[in-house]
Chain A
Amino acid sequence: MNYCKKCVYSSVSVNLEMSDGVCSACKTSEVFESLPKDFWDMRRKKFEEIINEIKLNRKSEYDCIIPVSGGKDSYYQAHKVVTDYGLKPLLVTYHGNNYLPEGNFNRDKMREVFDADHLVFGPSVDVLKKLNRIAFRLMGDMNWHAHCGIFTYPIQIANKFKIPLIIWGEIAWDISGMFDPDDFVEFSARVRHEHGLRGFEWNSMLNDERDKLVEKDLQWAKYPNDREILENNTKGIYIGNFFKWDPNEHAKLMNQLYGWLPSQTPFQRTYRLMSNLDDRYENGAHDLLKFIKFGYGRASDHASKDIRAGLMSREEGIEMVRKYDHVVSDDLQYWLNYVDISEREFWETADQFRDPRVWWIEKGQWTKFDIWGGSSSYGYHNLDEVSLKRYIR
């Protein structure tokens, strides 16, 4: 395992390619930063062409759909579409019952500050609790329902209301560098299925021994097929493809213009206050599971982004990793109570997802290399004799 020379990602980070010691995310980001003003002018014109076309053939009741959580990015999308370009979108939210108070405030304020109708959808809490448990056991992530809801429900609504255009926010320019700015990618069912949902669909959730769900519980989780997509001409574009994406700037601007609030209390697993307020576990227990699996967490993600944006040196980034990546945050207890799982079961299950490229067991403890040099141990393992063998080096 080696680390990128520029940011704090390791070669094992999800979907990353490493060459000449630099990761694909840093390379993509360099391309992105070096784009001249002309490029963005042309992109803006392209966006305006799309907007004008909508204004010319206003057939549906809404001009487009904006999937929103209520976060800074949602506000930025609505700001562009409603305030700057005067469209009438339908805002669509998947509510996974994990909102933080600031997230609730921001979400509900959207239809006060933007002239837009807002559809908030949430599955039954009983179904959600079951899905939390099933997905945790199946893939070591309680938040599968959220990835699925966010990337399915707005598309269902687009087809139901015959609204062809869906305007998404950030394209994952720098999360792994899967695409380049000039690839001009659109929303893709394959990326949703493979990278958003990890290859699990609604029907993967029906076979759990302990938690029983039926097809009816998961209607919101069914992605339309190709024929239905083509019939409605449904298409998802990313606003990040048309306007330069700068989350730090967006957060400031949205706060000034609309009173959008960042988290009022610090997170335990990262220093950023402006991300993931729609889901208490995203910066907490969900992210802890990423550390358990791949040896890095949100602090690594945020520091890598901020290093690329020139807001932080690599040394400062490494300090963030050292301070935050391994922390077991208090929301874990909150989640264990919510879904009625014991802490012991949590660790026994979580340990089954440790990536052997990252972790080995030394003196009974989980051990991995550290970006600041050498290796450290991160707590005792909870494996049986057989599973243990994969991790003895």
Chain B
Amino acid sequence: MRKNRIIPIVLFKDGHVVQSKKFREYKNLGNPLLTINRLSEWGADEICFLDISRDNNWQGGRSDLNERTPATFLEVLAEVSKVAYMPLTCGGGIRTMEDVELRIKNGADKISLNSAIFCNPALIQDAIKEYGSQSVVASVDVKFVGDKYKVYIHGGQTCIDQDWKDYLRRVEDLEVGEILLNSINNDGGKEGYDLSMLSIATSLVSIPVIACGGVGEWEHFRSALTETEIDAVAAANIFQHQDQSVYQAHKFLFVHGINVRPPRLLETNYLKVTTNELL
């Protein structure tokens, strides 16, 4: 039986890694290369690297740091892909086939598309034709408003006028490899995933669904993997709050009998890599 994956998400905004709360509050955590190198060494199954910059507000690096962040997102991606020793999904700001190609060329193994599903479905089809379904992840942001779930695009800013269940079926019909399903309400809330949203979604589609939004403790991974049919668990902020986080998450789930890989550390010395060889 296929293993359940643990997927750290790294949010990138205006030149650095950020924490996100409710798609509104952002906090600067620093250098993407160091962050991803660490997650990689702690044995993440995959990494999802999302550019959520909205306006052109790139903050260049300081001149007194050893590790500088490159000047464009694509250069950052190219550097990041060298320290990600597992599949790397890249998303954010992908509008044309050229955007897709540039991301694959700069080291992404998969691309994640969100607004394009609604605005430009032909792009999804072209990307799948070129790179295969397994390379295309549909990222869907869902918000519970009033008494129903609604789909939002443009970084949670625009609500679309379509039933969310129909939307998920339509996403599946596009033949994407999997769906990254995020709850806007739960984002950064630490109260756990929206389990009912996940249950409904997994009963609607047969492609893998990756749960996202709201993890505050490892137990939340366990409850989603035991109570719903999701295929993988993703989270962003929690992996930044303690060292060896991904390792500890694997350990917790493994010890609790969940079908994940046993915890492992990669044999690279992070400090040596970052200070000598990498840059």
Contacts and interface: CB of A to CB of B under 8 A. Distances in A.
Contact of B243 (A179, A186, A203): A186
Tell me whether chain B's interface is mostly helix, strand or loop, or mixed: mixed
A19 B18 CA distance: 13
Interface string A1-23: 00000000000001111010000
B216 to A, nearest CB: 8
Interface string B23-43: 001111111001100100110
Contact of B244 (A17, A230, A357): A230
Contacts of A195: 30
Contacts of B31: 194, 199
Contacts of A353: 63-64
Interface string B49-78: 000000000001011111100000000000
B272 interface: yes
A139 B65 contact: yes
B28 A16 contact: yes
Given A194-B67, A200-B66, A24 B247 contact: no
A178 B265 contact: no
A230 B67 contact: no
Given A17-B27, A186-B241, A188-B243, A201 B34 contact: no
A357 B62 CA distance: 10
Interface stretch (A221-229, A318-326, A337-345): A221-229
A288 to B, nearest CB: 14
Interface in A349-377: 352-355, 357
B271 A201 contact: yes
A204 B244 contact: no
Contact of B29 (A28, A178, A189, A225): A178
Nearest to A222: B271
B28 A183 contact: no
Given A140-B64, A178-B27, A201 B275 contact: yes
Contacts of B275: 199-201, 203-204
B165 to A, nearest CB: 33
A104 B25 CA distance: 43
Chain A interface size, as a band, is 35 or more
A75 to B, nearest CB: 27
A182 interface: yes
Interface in B56-110: 60, 62-67
A189 B41 CA distance: 13
Contact of B274 (A188, A191, A199, A229): A199
Given A27-B25, A176-B28, A355-B62, A183 B243 contact: no
A198 B65 contact: yes
B265 to A, nearest CB: 5
B62 A227 contact: no
A202 B257 CA distance: 41
B242 interface: yes
B265 A230 contact: yes
A17 B241 contact: no
Contacts of A357: 60
Interface string A225-261: 1110110000000000000000000000000000000
A190 B34 contact: yes
B158 interface: no
A184 interface: yes
A123 interface: no
B162 interface: no
B27 A226 contact: no
Contacts of B21: 180
A183 B265 CA distance: 24
A184 B27 contact: no
8 contacts: A14-B62, A15-B28, A188-B241, A189-B243, A190-B30, A194-B31, A226-B247, A352-B63
User: Lowest 4 A-B CB distances belong to which pairs?
Assistant: A199-B66, A199-B67, A186-B242, A139-B64
